[in-house]
Amino acid sequence: MGAIYLVRHGQASFGAAEYDALSALGVEQATRLGAALKQRGLRVDRVISGPMRRHRQTAEACLTAMDLPAVWDEQPGWKEYDHDEMIARFDPRLSDPATRLAHFAHEPDPRRAFQTMFERATERWIGGDHDADYAESWPAFNARVSTALRTLAASMAPSQNALVFTSGGPVAVVTADLLRVPQRDAARINRIVANASLTKVLYSERGLYLSTFNEHSYFEGERHKQLITYR
Report the DSSP pairing between strands 2-8 and 161-166: parallel
Give me the tens of pLDDT residue by residue for the chain, a chain 231 residues long.
Answer: 899 999 999 999 866 667 789 999 999 999 999 999 999 999 999 999 999 999 999 999 999 999 999 999 999 999 999 999 999 999 999 988 888 888 888 888 888 888 899 999 999 999 999 999 999 999 999 999 999 999 999 999 999 999 999 999 999 999 999 999 988 888 889 999 999 999 999 999 999 999 999 999 999 988 888 999 998
Amino acid at 144: R
CA distance 93 to 17: 18
Consecutive H or E run containing 33:
helix 24-40
Name the CATH superfamily for 2-80+137-227: Phosphoglycerate mutase-like (3.40.50.1240)
pTM over 0.85: yes
Cα–Cα–Cα angle for 49, 33, 118, rounded to 5 degrees: 65
pLDDT of residue 15: 64
Within the chain, all domains assigned CATH 3.40.50.1240 are found at 2-80+137-227
